[in-house]
Amino acid sequence: MPDAFCSLEGKRALVTGGSRGIGAAIVRELARAGADVVLGYRTGAAEAEAVAHETGARAVQADVSSAEEAARLVEEAGRLDILVNNAGHTRDGLLARMPDEDWRDVIETNLSSVFYTCRAVTRPMLKQRGGAIVNVSSIVGVRGNWGQTNYAASKAGIIGFTKSLARELGPRGVRANVVAPGYVDTRLTEALPEEAKQQMLRATPLGRFGEPADVAGAVRFLCSGEAAFITGEVLLVDGGLGM
């Protein structure tokens, strides 16, 4: 039986980037809350199918950095009550040496994908006069980070985009919020040098990296009826790093 608090029973959710890491944790948490979950993924078909089998979700392959693919994903998902945009990646490097391709790829994958999927769900959600959108940003979009001008720009853009979206959709009962994780144990942080990890830990008051489940719980809350009067907000899930 789904948990009563922050229940999503009877809701259908689409989660992009849901095959691994934070995205997979979000799929698991929303399914645990009772939602019918559609798992969008670009790569990692075996991982996506494994998460779908575990949770009862339905996996759909799509590259949401393409407007056409994003629209197809939303159409295949069917009537949606919840959209969680989690798809994203990094191509780190100093600005002075950053190729145009690395800039465009990160902006398209992390930010344009949010525009494409939100545009695709806007009219249906406005028509049904209800819905919850949660866009996953990052503490880097709030504070910036060395060697991540492209990533920081994409994640900061998500924040401004979502606040504007919340103003547009609010009068019809559609909410839009942001979750901004701090440093979370995923494949991205595994690749960091040990000294960089220690610096991050020293700057985090709780003294640990986050877990994907920490982020997933925040997403579940913002998707639920318990957050019915919250829109346009940025919820930092960062162990206090952004204070």
Residues carrying an active site annotation: 151
In Å, how far from its chain's centre is CA 220?
11
Structure-token pair, residue 32? 């645990």
Q: Backbone dihedral region of 190: left (phi > 0), alpha (psi from -120 to 50 degrees) or beta?
A: alpha
Among positive and negative, which fits the CA dihedral 217, 219, 220, 225? Answer: positive
d(CA 33, CA 11): 10
User: Contact at 8 Å (CB) between 239 and 182?
Assistant: yes
Helix, strand and coil in the chain, % to nearest 5: 50, 15, 35
Q: Where are the alpha helices (DSSP H) in the chain?
A: 21-32, 45-55, 67-77, 100-107, 113-128, 140-143, 149-169, 187-190, 194-203, 212-223
Cα–Cα distances (Å) from 180 to 27, 61, 156, 191, in that order, read: 17, 25, 10, 20
Structure-token pair, residue 98? 């950053």
d(CA 140, CA 145): 6
Q: Identify the burial level of 98 via C-beta atoms within 10 angstroms of its C-beta, where 0-12 means exposed, 13-18 middle and 19 or more buried.
A: middle
